[in-house]
Amino acid sequence: MKRTSLSVSPPAARSLCLPRPSRTGFTLIELLVVIAVIAVLAGLLFPVFAQAREKARQATCLSNLKQIAMAWLLYAQDYDETACLSYYYTPDFRIETAWDFRLDWGPGAGTPSWEFGLLGPYAKSGALHRCPSFYGQAWGRPYTGYAYNATYIGGDVFYGIPSCTLAQISDPAGTAVFADGGFGHPVNAQNYLRAPSDPLFVAGKVHFRHHRTASVAYADGHVRAVTRRYLVSPFEPECGALSADDSAYDLN
C-alpha cells in the first residue's frame, strides 16, 4: 500500500492565515492628550467668548441710555426747556414719583406697585431702565441699573435744589445726565447720580461694570463708554466718579 504523506504548514505560515483582531477606541494616553488639548482650547476661548458677550451687553446698555437721554430731551422741550425732577414724595412718603418709576409703598407692601415715572410718556418701556449687566439690589424698582444726575440736573427736593433748564448747561457735550449707577460691594443699585462734592456721593456713584467701563449719557444726547475712573475706594473697587471734582456733573 502506498502511503500518502500529509503536508503540515509550519506555525509561522499558519499564523499568516489567521484574521488579526481589529483595533477600536483610544488608548489611555491618547484620551489624556485629547482632554489636555480641549482644556487648553477652553482656557483660551472662554475669556474671548465672555468678553464678546459683555461687549454685546454694553452695546445694549448704550442703546438704552441713548433712548433715555432722548426721552429726557423731549420732556424738557415740552416743559419750557426745564429738565424733569429727579424725584419727589407725597407728604406721607407713601408714593415716590421719580424720573424712571412711580412707586406706591402701600400699607404693609413689601414690594411696591409701580407705574412709569416722569419720563414714562416718552419712553414707555420698563426694560429700557434695566442694564443687562446689572443684578444688584433694586430697592423696589422693577428694572434698574441707571442713575440720573440729581446734584445739578434733576435737583433734590430735600435740599431745596430745583431742576435746571437746558440753557443753564454751558457744556452739554461734557455734562453727564445719566450713567451706570451703583455703590457698595457687592454693588447695589442707585438711581440718583451724585457729584463728588454732594454729601450723598457715597450712595450715588458710577458703576464701571462693563470690564471697568461705564456707559454715560450727556446733556446733548450723545452716549459713550467711559474708562477713566476717579475716587475709587478699595472697599468699592467697581465704583467711582466721572471726575475728581464736579466738572463732569455741573452746569459749567
Q: Please indicate, yes or no, if residue 219 is contained in any of the structural domains.
A: yes
pLDDT at 1 over 50: no
Could you tell me if residue 102 is inside a domain? yes
Least confident segment among 14-23, 32-41, 163-172: 14-23
In a domain, 108, yes or no: yes
Q: Based on the structure, what is the number of domains in the chain?
A: 1
Q: Is the pLDDT of residue 21 over 90?
A: no
Residue 14 falls inside a structural domain: no
pTM: 0.80
> What is the total residue count of the chain?
252
Q: 65 lies in a domain?
A: yes
Residue 252 lies in a domain: no
DSSP string, the chain: -PPPPPP---HHHHHHHSPPPPP-S--HHHHHHHHHHHHHHHHHHHHHHHHHHHHHHHHHHHHHHHHHHHHHHHHHHHTTTBPPPSEEE-TTS-EEEESSEEEE--TT-SS-EEEE-TTGGG---GGGGB-TT--S--TT-SS-BEEEETTTTS-BGGGTBPPPBGGG-S-GGG-EEEEEB-BTTTTBP-SEE--TTSGGGGGS-EE-TTTS-EEEEETTS-EEEE---BS-BTTBTTEEBSSSSSTTTS--
For the chain, give the mean pLDDT: 88
What is the per-residue pLDDT across 109-142, written as a single tens digit (0 to 9) for each? 678 999 999 999 998 888 899 999 998 888 899 9
Query: pLDDT per residue over 77-96, tens digit each?
Result: 999 999 999 999 999 999 99
Kindly state whether residue 251 falls inside one of the protein's structural domains.
no
pLDDT tens sequence across 23-52: 566 677 777 777 777 777 767 655 655 666
Q: Which residues form the domain of 112? A: 28-240
What pLDDT is attached to residue 213? Answer: 96
User: Which one is predicted more confidently, 16 or 236?
Assistant: 236
The answer to whether position 13 is within a domain reads: no
Please compute the mean of the pLDDT values over residues 221-243 and round it to a whole number. 97
